[in-house]
Amino acid sequence: MEDLDFTGDSRPSKSAIYDSSVARMCFEAVGKLEQVRQGGNFFTENQSSDRMYYLVDGEVSLVRGKKVLDVVKAGEIFGEMAMIGRQPRSATAAARTACRALSLDTRQFQSSIQRTPEFALMLMNIIVNRLRLTAALTAGKAPQEAGALRERVFDAKMLSDLMAVLDHRLPAHAHLNKVIMKEGEGGVFMYVVVEGQVAISVKSRIVARIGPGGIFGEMALAAPSSRAATVTAETDCSLLSINRNDFLTLVKSRPDIAVSLFKSAADRIRHMTSHH
């Protein structure tokens, strides 16, 4: 099983954009205080669990098998990717010392980010940076089967709800063969496919196709950056564009939609690591 909880240099606290005070504010809003004695576990490898943690006091070892992968210290978060990805734990979180931590389950997480949308944006930045790192590490290796249709992020109801929340931004039409974005260009929008199908290509090779309910260009939500791929309309398409301010609006009004975006990025990381 691939490790979807951040360890080493890719953990949130190692990121320049991680702000412990913002994280604590999010967890304190509705989080549950947990105390674990020295030698005890917050969770164990392969356990199903829907909680993520902010460590208030103490130190926690992340252990797979008998190998210590990393040590979490006060002010840091852990367990977030398994919760977001809804997957079994890929490591054990063992208390090196007596610990106190604030925890959030999925429902509490959604409620909390409504109060502190800045944490959701920070977490989105960190997940996207992890996605970039994973893509860089797998560069030059065999990509996923060309032409594979990515799983939709939004079902029909959620897509309808999304458009209702962002009713100030009407879907745009992209005709057949239109290049929607080019690899290397700057971009500030993420796109949701409302109707039609687009092809994603890297260095002129099609690596994926996206249909209704699918997304692309989500890295732009983290920060203005160069596009990692070229996207071309394979049919006449209807596309909904979303920028950072739209994302914050979503977090406040429909946090479940934001969580779906997090899960999509986590699933993409899992797909890349499991196939390479």
Q: For the chain, how long is the longest CA-to-CA vector?
A: 61
| Lowest mean pLDDT across 55-69, 79-93, 131-145, 258-272 | 131-145
Burial class (CB in 10 A: 0-12, 13-18, 19+), 101: buried
145: confidence class by pLDDT, cuts 50, 70, 90: low
Kindly state the average pLDDT of the residues 143-155.
Answer: 64
Question: Which residues are CB-contacts of 15 (< 8 A; sequence separation ≥ 6)?
Answer: 125, 126, 129
Catalogue all structural domains in the chain, each as residue range(s) with its CATH number.
8-115 (2.60.120.10), 126-274 (2.60.120.10)
Q: Is residue 275's pLDDT more than 60?
A: no
The predicted structure's pLDDT at residue 263: 82
Average pLDDT (125-153) is 62
Percent of the chain past pLDDT 70, that is, above it, reads: 82
261 vs 93 pLDDT, higher one: 93
In this structure, the dihedral spanned by the alpha carbons of residues 132, 136, 141 and 145, taken in order and rounded to 10 degrees, is 10
Q: Give the chain's length.
A: 276
Is this model's pTM higher than 0.95 or not?
no
What pLDDT shows up at residue 1? Answer: 36
DSSP label of 60:
E
The reported pLDDT for the residue numbered 9 is: 44
Say yes or no to pLDDT of 109 above 90.
yes
Averaged pLDDT score across all residues of the chain: 85
Residue 87: band (very low, low, confident or very high) from pLDDT cuts 50, 70, 90? confident
When pLDDT is cut at 50, 70 and 90, the band that residue 121 belongs to is confident
Q: What is the mean pLDDT of residues 114-119?
A: 90
